Amino acid sequence: MTDQQRKEFDLEKHGVQSTGKATAMMTELRLDVAGLSDIGLKRSNNEDSFGYDLDANIFVVCDGMGGLAAGEVASNAAVELTLRTYRELCCQEMDPEKRLDAAIGNANNAVWNMAQQDRALRGMGTTLVAACILHNRLLIGNVGDSRAYFLRDGDCVQITEDHSYAAEQMRRGGSGLSARLQQVITRAVGVDAAVKADFFVVNLQSGDTVLLTTDGLTRYANADKLAQEIYAHPNLEETCRGLIAIAHAGGAEDNVTCLLLRVR
């Protein structure tokens, strides 16, 4: 989805707000969850990872990068540390954004330190997109180009903004990048000693759906195509299989991961 399409979509009408404008609601919502990760058609290993904790209501998708198995190590570690840290901080009186920021920061420290201590892991890192739910409030945090999409009333909008060279050039009005440059990300977990995540808030209601996914899917499907597939199936596991099939039909040159949350 282009920036212009994002502007034309009425974000506040659909409950998407900046973190400073969110108002927590106290009614508990029930959630259905399904996720699927696929190696794709070209790769020899899967460097994507995902995980969630239903007690803490946190959901994470990562896309690792690095030589040999380093990307897999980075994404697995980031998912595990983000979930664990967020869960441990749930017992403290803490703003959810600060809690998620601390969890992502702890994951970044872990991946960074692993790479510094093992020469074979040098240069590894991972994207990260996470969703946390507290009452009716959804908090999204992201680093890199793994994305969160929000679906309501037949619409689908990309909540997150990619931290990639291609996305930054498009925001500046540039175009015509080589295929190699289109894959370059400008922010990732574990590549530096510190990382800055972006955060977004959605006030949820019954019927809303959230998709967390890696670029192994989004390079083959825009928001409209994602919406068509997601709204076509009431069963989330079937929907995940359908999304993976879209990537396969396009060639699936990368690993493909999707994690779906549906409010009811």
Predicted confidence at residue 178, as pLDDT, reads 52
Residue ranges per structural domain of the chain: 3-263
Other CB atoms within a 10 A radius of the CB of residue 34 amount to 16
Report which DSSP code applies to 142: E
Phi/psi class of residue 240: alpha, beta or left (left: φ > 0; alpha: ψ in -120 to 50)?
Answer: alpha
Other CB atoms within a 10 A radius of the CB of residue 246 amount to 18
Predicted confidence at residue 21, as pLDDT, reads 37
In the predicted model, residues of the chain with pLDDT beneath 70 are 1-28, 68, 170, 172-183
Predicted confidence at residue 3, as pLDDT, reads 36
Fold classification of 3-263 (topology level): Phosphatase 2c; domain 1 (3.60.40)
Q: What is the pLDDT of residues 84-109, one digit of tens each?
A: 999 999 999 999 999 999 999 999 99
Predicted confidence at residue 141, as pLDDT, reads 98
With a CB cutoff of 8 Å and minimum separation 6, the contacts of 240 are: 34, 35, 36, 258, 260
Predicted confidence at residue 168, as pLDDT, reads 74
Predicted confidence at residue 14, as pLDDT, reads 54
Predicted confidence at residue 69, as pLDDT, reads 80
133 φ, ψ to 5°? -120, 130
